[in-house]
């Protein structure tokens, strides 16, 4: 099958010491109580079937202005991870979605975007070049 | 049975609610629920008016691996227009 996607925005993989370079995207977060819109990079993790995990610093910032909307456990490699839940608006590839975001009560996993959001966009990974691209929605597909 | 288990993973439901949702008779649905309860898949919660059944393993979002990355450690407040309600697709 020939790929006919037209590539648009480009993101460099993030490089850290002792970690294989990994794909990130820039997302924006908003909630009325927050002062403005937050721009942040997030790990693209197709192994996470939720929408968003908040890094400790980001979660601490949000929790200054917003009370948690709930409490849930994340199943992290079969271990229940207690999390406060915040419903936030997230912009990815120019589109806004209202999703549950998870702030682990202990530890810091970083900011992670999962399949609930990733399944809404066209993404192309070019690992050898350490680059991720958003692709334009093919004209034949309506937005889902 | 699979549909019952999947439906009850969302939240506890009564026999009536489930039988209507799955389009099966009340008695058939109840029989299945009791069977699933006997083998330890479901738990019955008796309330004043009716019985609710819930899954022993409610749905939890899963992380297949547990990353420890620094993505999103720093962030910035940007001068951008927040979305209007019409622009936001609800996925909760």
More confident position, A119 or A75: A119
Please name the helix (run of DSSP H) or strand (run of DSSP E) that holds residue B27, with its range, or none. Answer: helix B26-38
For position B61, what pLDDT does the model report? 79
Contact A24 B65 (CB under 8 A): no
Given a cut of 70, whether residue A55 has pLDDT beyond it is: yes
Q: Residue B35: helix, strand or coil by DSSP?
A: helix
Contact B80 A39 (CB under 8 A): yes
| Domain spans in chain A, listed from the N-terminal domain onward | 7-135
Query: What is the C-alpha to C-alpha distance for residues A60 and A144, in angstroms, rounded to an integer?
Result: 33
For position A39, what pLDDT does the model report? 94
Q: What are phi and psi of A114, to 5 degrees?
A: -110, -170
The nearest CA of chain B is from the CA of A7 a distance in Å of 23
For position A143, what pLDDT does the model report? 53
Give CATH for domain A7-135. 2.40.70.10
Confidence of residue A141 (pLDDT cuts 50, 70, 90): low
Distances (CA, A) of B1 to A122, B32, B39, B40, B58: 35, 7, 12, 13, 16
Give the pairing type, strands A79-92 and A24-30.
antiparallel
Q: Mean pLDDT over residues B6-26, rounded?
A: 90
Residue pointed to by tokens 């008695």? B27
**Nearest residue on chain A to B69, judged by CA atoms?**
A110
Residue A11's beta-bridge partner residues? A132
Within 8 A of A77 by CB-CB distance, chain B residues are 63-66
Give the pairing type, strands B88-90 and A95-104.
parallel
DSSP-assigned states of every residue in chain A: ----PPEEEEEEPEEETTEEEE-EEEEEEE-TTSSSEEEEEEEE-TTB-SSEE--HHHHHHHHHH---SEEEEEEETTEEEEEEEEEEEEEETTEEEEEEEEEESSS----EE-HHHHTTS-EEEEGGGTEEEEEPPPTTSPP-
| A11 Cβ under 8 Å from any chain B Cβ | no
Given a cut of 80, whether residue B33 has pLDDT beyond it is: yes
Within 8 A of B57 by CB-CB distance, chain A residues are none
Domains of chain B: 2-55 (1.10.10.10)
Confidence of residue A142 (pLDDT cuts 50, 70, 90): low
For position B63, what pLDDT does the model report? 78
Given a cut of 80, whether residue A2 has pLDDT beyond it is: yes
**Whether the predicted model's global pTM rises above the 0.80 cut:** no
Cβ atoms of residues A30 and B47 within 8 Å: no
Contact B78 A80 (CB under 8 A): no
**Mind listing the pLDDT tens digit for each residue in A8-54?**
899 999 988 778 899 999 999 999 998 789 999 999 999 999 999 99
Structure tokens at B24: 């099966």
Query: What is the C-alpha to C-alpha distance for residues B35 and B41, in angstroms, rounded to an integer?
Result: 9
| A93 Cβ under 8 Å from any chain B Cβ | no
């Amino acid at each position: 099958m020939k790929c006919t996607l037209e590539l648009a925005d480009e993101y460099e993989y993030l490089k850290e010491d002792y970690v294989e370079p990994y794909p990130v995207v820039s997302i924006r977060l908003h909630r009325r109580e927050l002062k403005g819109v937050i721009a942040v990079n997030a790990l693209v993790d197709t192994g996470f079937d939720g929408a968003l995990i908040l890094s400790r610093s980001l979660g601490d910032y949000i929790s200054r202005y917003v009370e948690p909307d709930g409490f849930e456990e994340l199943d992290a490699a079969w271990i229940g991870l207690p999390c406060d839940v915040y419903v936030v608006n997230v912009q990815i590839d120019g589109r806004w979605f209202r999703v549950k975001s998870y702030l682990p009560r202990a530890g810091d996993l970083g900011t992670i975007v999962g399949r609930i959001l990733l399944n809404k966009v066209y993404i192309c990974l070019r690992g050898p070049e350490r680059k991720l691209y958003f692709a334009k929605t093919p004209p034949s597909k309506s937005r889902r | 049975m699979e549909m019952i288990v999947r439906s009850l993973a969302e939240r506890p439901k009564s026999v009536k609610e489930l039988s209507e949702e799955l389009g099966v008779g009340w008695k058939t649905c109840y029989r299945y629920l009791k069977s699933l309860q006997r083998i330890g898949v479901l738990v019955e919660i008796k309330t004043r008016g009716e019985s609710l059944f819930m899954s022993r393993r409610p749905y939890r979002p899963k992380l297949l691996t547990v990353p420890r990355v620094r993505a999103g450690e720093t962030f910035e407040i940007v001068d951008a227009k927040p979305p209007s309600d019409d622009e936001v697709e609800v996925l909760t």
